[in-house]
Amino acid sequence: MSFAKLLLVLLLLAGSCLPASAAPLVAGPGVPPISRIDPTFWWVGMKNPKLQLLVHGPGLAASQVALASYPGVTLDGFQRLESPNYLVVNLTISPSAQPGKLQLTFKGQRKTTYAYELRARTTPGDKSKVQGISSADFIYLLMPDRFANGDPTNDMVKGNRAPGLARDSMYARHGGDLKGIEDHFDYLKELGVTAIWPTPVVDNNMPKAGYHGYALTDYYAVDPHYGRNEDYVRFVQHAHEQGLKVIHDVVLNHMGSFNYLWLDQPAKDWFHQWPTFTRGNYRNGTVNDPHVSALDRKIFSTTMFDTTMPDPAQENPLVATYLIQNFLWWVEYTGVDGYRVDTYTYSDPTFLMNWGKAILDEYPQLGMFGETWMQEAEGVAQQAFWTRNVFPPVNGFKSNLPGAIDFTLRYALLEGLTKPQGFSEGIAKLYYAVQGDWMYEDASRNVIFLDNHDVDRVFSELGEDVRKQKMALAWLLTERGIPQLYYGTEVLMKNFSRPDGLLREDFPGGWPTDPKNAFTAAGRTPAQHDMHEYVRKLATYRKTHPVLQTGQLTHFVPEDGVYTYCRHDQQGHTVLVMLNCNPTAKTVPLNRFAERLKGYTAARDVLTEAVVSDLQTATVPAYTALVWELR
């Protein structure tokens, strides 16, 4: 065996070569191996016929590229980059092209032949795939590593920078995986959940804190601690078979510092480079501030998100195409139903418009909402700016993102439940936040929430007051928009983001050695079970009553710390909700709401199932939500 062939075998055994799904290559003596091609494969019949291949291998740039005759596919040329280890190959795949394998030849002194696979699409004809996300859904957000360990064989990943588990550390892997989530599909369905949002499942081969998923090291691979690519495809398929949708969490703005694209950069202009590490200012208002400092604007959008999160230069057309293709690839490959876009506001604005258009042109039914996290003082207008809205373009930017993660409503609700009531304070803040819905193209596409993996758990924010948490949950499941529940809120999981990150603790019962199992009624404390049943009852009611999914919202100016609103539809269904944010009970005359109560003579309390025959007044206990179905 020649030295070159021996070297190729050793590289293959070391795992630093082709992904398992890639086609084989044939290399002549002395020819460097191709380590990978991104995208790893593609499909015929995509709306955009252009395909950009990023080919990586030591010394590859010295090669010439040729394409063997393949009907419907043409080679548009290739491009060398600053690094000697990359080539960009451009193809056009006409609508007449059929599935098969393209023969690409890379020729220097010797030649390497690579069989690149074109597959048949499955999403256009399979109604179970890419179902979309809407206000009819109830999303359950979980961190795969912290939810349940269903497959102990992936607990130890040889060669990984953090190969094993350490459940006593909040920054290490704990062992949760895709199989663990799937093992509890029945739990989620029984709770009333219709869609699962795992934090990113792509490879995060980082030495520390890779469990959270937001420092990706391979755009085209599932994290091996969770499973393989094929496992994820099956996971989505099995979820669909069980009536559950899947939301794929995507990161556009940054990557992990152990991503091969950062370790061996195609070119300096693929990333925003500063002389020394410069942390961003996290001020998305610099994008549309008419008085902004140029330096502040630059620091917001061109710095590393954190010390281990490089910032791709999305204004570079090659980088933009690489990212757009990747996120088209995941939809077609898996059939996921929606995208949650991490740190949406940090990306290059022009890129955001092009990325959103490309994704929705190909998959108009895909649900999509973005993290538009901002400070409470910034308000509804700033949040609406980052979604489809009624505003004219600002600095050439007009967002095409369908919905936002509604931080403004969360801030307002928490103020209503924790601060003194006043004319414009307390629950009045929630009224004003909802009043701002006029700025959105469609506020019902916003995702509303009480807590998530980045903010303090709501039970702790509310001083561990069960009454307040129930009221917050009643709001979540009756307000306009798409409700999202953070894992464990239904069983009173608590804690704060600082100083130790305990808001990301393991779900009790997700590991065989756990002393308690909150997945079962027998494993919950009475208080946990009571909260679980409260969520289940309301979520089930919402699931079977479209008026809470798509009904119009009419709300009334809060009075004396009581906020009242109705969801109603043209079929004559109305649900009345009253939030009493006071430490004492309130008796409220109902004649003020006559415009919505007209024609109704009674009600049924959705939570207690008691029949209400007198619609003259309503007495609402302290820190309680009243939910009535009018009759």
8 A C-beta contact, residue 288 and residue 379 = no
CB neighbour burial string for 223-255, b if at least 16 within 10 angstroms, e if fewer: bbbbbbbebbbbbbbebbeeebbbbbbbbbbbb
Catalytic residue numbers read: 342, 371
For residue 433, give the nearest of 453, 457, 406 by alpha carbon.
406
At residue 270, the 3 state secondary structure works out as helix
8 A C-beta contact, residue 70 and residue 97 = yes
Identify each DSSP E strand in 439-531 by its residue range: 447-449, 482-486
Indicate the pairing of strand 42-43 with strand 64-67: unpaired
The token pair that represents 442 in the structure block:
């469609």
Q: Which distant-in-sequence residues (6+ apart) come within 8 Å of 86 by Cβ? A: 54, 55, 56, 60, 61, 80, 266
8 A C-beta contact, residue 621 and residue 605 = no
Furthest CA-CA distance within the chain: 93
> Cα(231)–Cα(222) distance, rounded to whole angstroms?
9
Q: CB-based burial of residue 87 (10 Å sphere; 0-12 exposed, 13-18 middle, 19+ buried)?
A: buried
Indicate the pairing of strand 562-568 with strand 574-580: antiparallel
Distances (CA, A) of 554 to 563, 597, 603: 11, 12, 18
DSSP letters of 135-191? TT--EEEE-HHHH----GGGSS-TT-SS-S--TT-TTS-----HHHHHTTHHHHHHH
Q: What's the angle, vertex CA 396, arms to CA 393 and CA 402, rounded to 5?
A: 55
> Cα(303)–Cα(588) distance, rounded to whole angstroms?
53
